[in-house]
Structure 1
Amino acid sequence: MTELHAGLVISHLGKGVAVEVDGNIILCQTRRKLETVAAGDQVMITIVAKDQGRIEQLLPRHSLLERPNKGRKTRPVAANIDQIFVAFATEPYCDFLLIDQYLAICENRNINALLIYNKSDLATVDSIEQELATYQNLGYTLFRVSAIKNQGIAELQQALCKKISIFTGQSGVGKSSLTNALIPDKELKTNTVSATTKHGRHTTTAATLYHLPAGGDLIDSPGVAIFGLAGLSENQLAYGYREFQAFIEKCKFNDCRHLLDKGCAVRVAVENGTISLARYQRFLKLREKMPTR
């Protein structure tokens, strides 16, 4: 009987998958019947030659992030994530609609969401501070950091310890600067994986998992909106707004859309100021953006 080895998926490289087994990188092919694996997946592999293997089993996941693929299908981006850090900054402008979208997905995927305000050494406008206060009142942890000035990085390292995390956020907010501040030898690690698997540099097209020097793992994923609203229903989107949850069950009808529906407890809470009007308006915009089924 062929011996099975437990491995951790690091990234997709070309047509192969880089899997870490006992600290070594093995380039693997996947059994045809297996579903697509992603960075962070735990797998069982067989070794077929030096530094080469085959993924035989995909072990159960406790979380999965997906992005829209062709048609209505989705493609896994990263698996077994414990927490997602949503990064934003005053420059470029702060896209709270995108932030709400990420938070709603995390709420439904049972992944802890935290906020990173990067470039926080720059001047902040009052409207942004008001929004940040709303998020903090909802229980979201906020880190104020500056990757350039190395401010708040130690607190961030502590929060990343012993967990698998991923950074997301719009382009230009400094995710790469943050990743480089946390993984000073990132370039070296990337080159080592490429060399071991006989692939040149820049062939990594998907998310890549890095071990952090202070403990924990960080999945670095290229692209802006790595996961959309694919896979969420209208009811799940409403549930994704954490402050709606207590009111949803008080709505008169089970299929309440929280628009102009009769007896909507969510809208009453908005009208009396219990729920932020700005967040409710963004919920309505996201509802319009949802893929039609």
Structure 2
Amino acid sequence: MAALLEGLVVAHLGQGIAVEAGDKTILCQTLRKLDTVAVGDKVLWSQSSPDQGRIEQILPRRSLLSRPSRNEKTRPVAANIDTVFVVFAVEPFCDFLLMDQYLAVCENRDINAALVLNKTDLPPSDSIEQELLGYQQLGYPLYRVSATAAAGLDTLKAALKDQVSIFSGQSGVGKSSLTNALIPDKDLKTNAISATTKLGRHTTTAATLYHLAEGGDLIDSPGVAIFGLAGLTEAQLAYGYREFQPLLDECQFNNCRHVLDKGCAVRAAAETGAIAMSRYQRFLKLREKMPLANP
């Protein structure tokens, strides 16, 4: 039996998976019995031909982000993420509902989360600044950057160093321009992966892991940066709101849904202003969007 080698999954290609092992990248297939391999996975692989390999085993993951798939199933987006950076901007608009959704997933997946306000040439309104202050008070770091003006990038690079990160956020907020600003030779690196694995550019990748010059890895996932609430229960959604966590055990009933339930400590805190009413209202909206949520 061929020796098993350790490698890092750096891209999902149309006809296989690019695995980085030492200073080379090799095209691998996977054993059918394996779960879906995600970019960021550490794997054991064997050589099947001079320039191809086969993934035999997925090594234990410290974290996993998934997105909704067909038949109410989920599909992995990226593995072994340390921090999700939620990118947003004043234009097209600040989607705080989507932001809360990302943060709730991170809280439950034990992944750090940070906020990145891009397009700082467009000043936020007072109401947006108030929301942002609320997130900072909850302990979420906020980075103000402009990808086009190259402002604030050094601070963001320092935050990305020595960890595995991924950008998420709605379309139009500048995730791609931000990635290009942080990885100036991104196209060269993508071409190198395609060339090494003998596949052309037409096999566009769903996600690619790049090594940052300053240290750390950034996973770029165009088109699949949205990971949904699939896999979260209603109780986990409530836990995903950081300010709710100390209150959950104070509700009168163990199965409190934090809607109109009698003796709900979370709703009482929102009504008295102890926690932000805007975040509580967004929790109710997300709860309605969840599969099988009760009215």
Q: Same fold (TM over 0.5)?
A: yes
User: Does the 8 A contact of 1:38 with 1:76 survive in 2?
Assistant: yes
Structure 2 counterpart of 1:140: 140
Q: Do residues 2 (structure 1) and 17 (structure 2) align?
A: no
1:250 aligned residue: 250
1:204-243 pair list within 5 angstroms: 204-223=204-223, 226-243=226-243
Q: 3-state DSSP class of the match of 2:181?
A: helix
Give the TM-score normalised by the residue count of structure 2. 0.97
CA deviation profile, 1:33-85 (whole Å, cap 9, x unmatched) = 11110000000000122221000111000000001111111110100000000
Counterpart contact for 2:206–2:223, Cα < 8 Å: no
CA distance in 1, matches of 2:281, 2:210: 38
Structure 1, unaligned runs of 5 or more:
none
RMSD: 1.0
SS at match of 2:259: coil
Find the counterpart in structure 2 of residue 54 from structure 1: 54
| Aligned-partner Cα distance in 2 for 1:121–1:276 | 28
- What TM-score does the superposition give when structure 1 sets the normalisation length? 0.98
Q: Partner of 1:70 in structure 2? A: 70
Q: In the comparison of the two structures, how many residue pairs are matched? A: 293
Give the match's secondary structure for 2:288: helix
Contact 2:26–2:51 under 8 Å retained in 1: yes
Alignment CA distance shift 1:78-1:224 (3 Å): closer
Pairing of 1:91-106 with structure 2 (within 5 A)? 91-106=91-106
Rounded to whole Å, the distance in 2 between the matches of 1:224 and 1:24 is 27
Which residue pairs with 1:203 in the alignment?
A: 203
Counterpart-to-counterpart distance in 1, 2:71 and 2:120:
39
Task: Compute the displacement of 1:255 (Å).
Answer: 0.4
Determine if contact 1:171/1:224 at 8 Å carries over to the other structure.
Answer: no
- 1:129-162 C-alpha deviation (Å, 9 max, x unpaired): 0000000010000000011111110011111111
- Displacement of 1:2 in angstroms is 1.7
Q: CA deviation at 1:4?
A: 1.1
Structure 1 counterpart of 2:123: 123
Query: Which amino acid is 2:33 matched to?
Result: K
2:181 maps to a residue whose letter is: A
Q: C-alpha separation between the residues in 1 aligned to 2:268 and 2:126?
A: 27
Asked if structure 2 preserves the Cα contact closer than 8 Å seen for 1:7 and 1:42, the reply is yes
Contact 2:170 2:226 in 1 (8 A): no
**Following the alignment from structure 1 to structure 2, what is the Cα–Cα distance between the partners of residues 123 and 226?**
25
**More displaced 10-residue stretch of structure 1: 198-207 or 265-274:** 198-207
Q: 1: distance between equivalents of 2:166 and 2:182?
A: 12
Match of 2:160 in 1: 160
Matched AA of 2:51: D
The answer to whether the 8 Å contact 1:147/1:181 transfers is: yes
Q: Distance in 2 between matches of 1:265 and 1:41?
A: 40
1:292 Cα deviation after fit: 1.9
Q: Distance in 1 between matches of 2:84 and 2:261?
A: 33
> 1:121, CA displacement in angstroms?
2.1
Alignment-derived partner of residue 183 in structure 1: 183
Q: Structure 2 CA distance, aligned partners of 1:124 and 1:97?
A: 17
Q: Out of 190-199 and 72-81, give the one that drifted further.
A: 190-199
**Offset of 1:205 from its aligned partner?**
3.5
Q: 1:97 to 1:261 in 2, by over 3 A?
A: same
Match of 1:112 in 2: 112
Residue 151 of structure 2 aligns to which amino acid in structure 1?
Answer: Q
- The worse-fitting range, judged by mean Cα deviation, of 60-69 and 197-206 is 197-206
1:224 and 1:32, CA in 2 relative to 1: closer, same or farther beyond 3 A? closer
Work out whether 1:19 is the aligned partner of 2:2: no
SS of the counterpart of 1:54? strand
Contact 2:211 2:217 survives alignment (8 Å): yes
Aligned partners of 1:171, 1:146: CA distance in 2, in Å? Answer: 16
Say whether the 8 Å CA contact 1:77–1:226 is kept in structure 2.
Answer: no
What is the rounded CA distance, in whole Å, between the counterparts of 1:145 and 1:255 in structure 2?
42
Structure 2 stretches lacking a partner, 5+ long: none
Counterparts in 2 of 1:224 and 1:2: CA distance versus 1, 3 Å: closer
Counterpart position of 1:89: 89
Q: Which amino acid aligns with 1:63?
A: S
Deviation at 1:224, TM superposition (A): 5.9
Counterpart CA distance in 2 for 1:194 and 1:36 is 21
